[in-house]
Amino acid sequence: MSFGVWAKRGGHPFPFQRCARSLICRLDSCGSFALPYDHTPLPSPPLKTLGITGGIGSGKSTIAALLGKKPGVRVVSADDEAKRLMVEDEGLRRQLIERFGADTFLEDGSLNRAGLAASVFDDPKEVEALNAIVHPAVREALGKSILQAKEDGIDLFAYEAALIYEIGAQDLVEAILLVDAPLELRISRVMQRDGSKRLEVMARMSNQLSSEDLRARADFVIDNDGDLAALQESVDSLYRSILDK
């Protein structure tokens, strides 16, 4: 297990002004001290934002869950947001039905995930069409979530998404964490988790950026190829680095 510390943007990854109360000490002619004191409250530390990404089977959801247990951290999942929006957003539902048919949703109004996936993921053009409908809504929801986190006094807002760059989310966060693992390990994890065949997993991977490309863009890297204790240690180090704890 390895942990990559900020390397590309120079300086601290989350620059912020360190504010302190002014204290002026003046020695008068009688040798006494006058200590004017500014009672203005210290401003709250600014919200810091982090994108968490990685290919399928990398373990980014596990990292996000561990980070989300830390004090002052809020984690939002792009996948969960997309599921919610496709059910609750009437405009988005209408676009999906117009493009992919009425059976995109089940009789109870829930998303027919299995049916939609079966009709989309074998066809790059259909994937592109789906993304063109869903991604703008997900990106807009991300912006609202960040504003809400600021209002709520959150210290660190983390956004977990497999497609950070594809939806332009990198422009809304200060840093990107890549969670990575060897290809064969990732394939094995997904096959065991989903009961998928190897070729199915590889087809899904082909719709994502390569590890090499993601590493070149990332600000932090956690290689998730060890045990849970090592993974926790990496998350602890990440948390301390970001929040100066």
Please name the residues in contact with 89: beta carbons below 8 A apart, sequence gap of 6 or more. Answer: 137
Residue-wise pLDDT tens for the chain (245 aa)? 444 444 444 444 554 333 332 222 333 334 433 444 444 444 455 899 999 999 999 999 999 999 999 999 999 999 999 999 999 999 999 999 999 998 999 989 899 988 888 888 778 889 889 999 999 999 999 999 999 999 999 999 999 999 999 888 999 999 999 999 999 999 999 999 989 899 989 988 988 899 999 999 999 999 999 889 999 999 999 999 998 75
Dihedral angle, C-alpha 86, 87, 88, 91, nearest 10 °: 50
Integer distance in angstroms from the first to the last C-alpha of the chain? 22
For residue 220, the cross-strand partners are: 177
Name 37's bridge partners: 23
Q: Where are the domains of the chain?
A: 47-243
Collapsed DSSP state (helix, strand, coil) of residue 17: coil
What is d(CA 221, CA 132) in angstroms, rounded to the nearest whole number? 29
Query: What are the residue ranges of helices labelled H in 160-222?
Result: 183-194, 198-205, 211-217
Instruction: For the domain covering 47-243, report its CATH number.
Output: 3.40.50.300
Q: Cβ–Cβ contacts within 10 Å for residue 195, how many?
A: 8
Tell me which residue has tokens 């998928």: 196
For residue 235 the two structure tokens come to 């998350």
Based on DSSP, count helices (H) and strands (E) in the chain, helices before strands: 9, 8
- 3-state SS assignment for residue 111: strand
DSSP 171: G
The model's pTM: 0.79
Q: How far apart are CA 72 and CA 74, in angstroms?
A: 7
At 164, list the tokens.
Answer: 């950070």
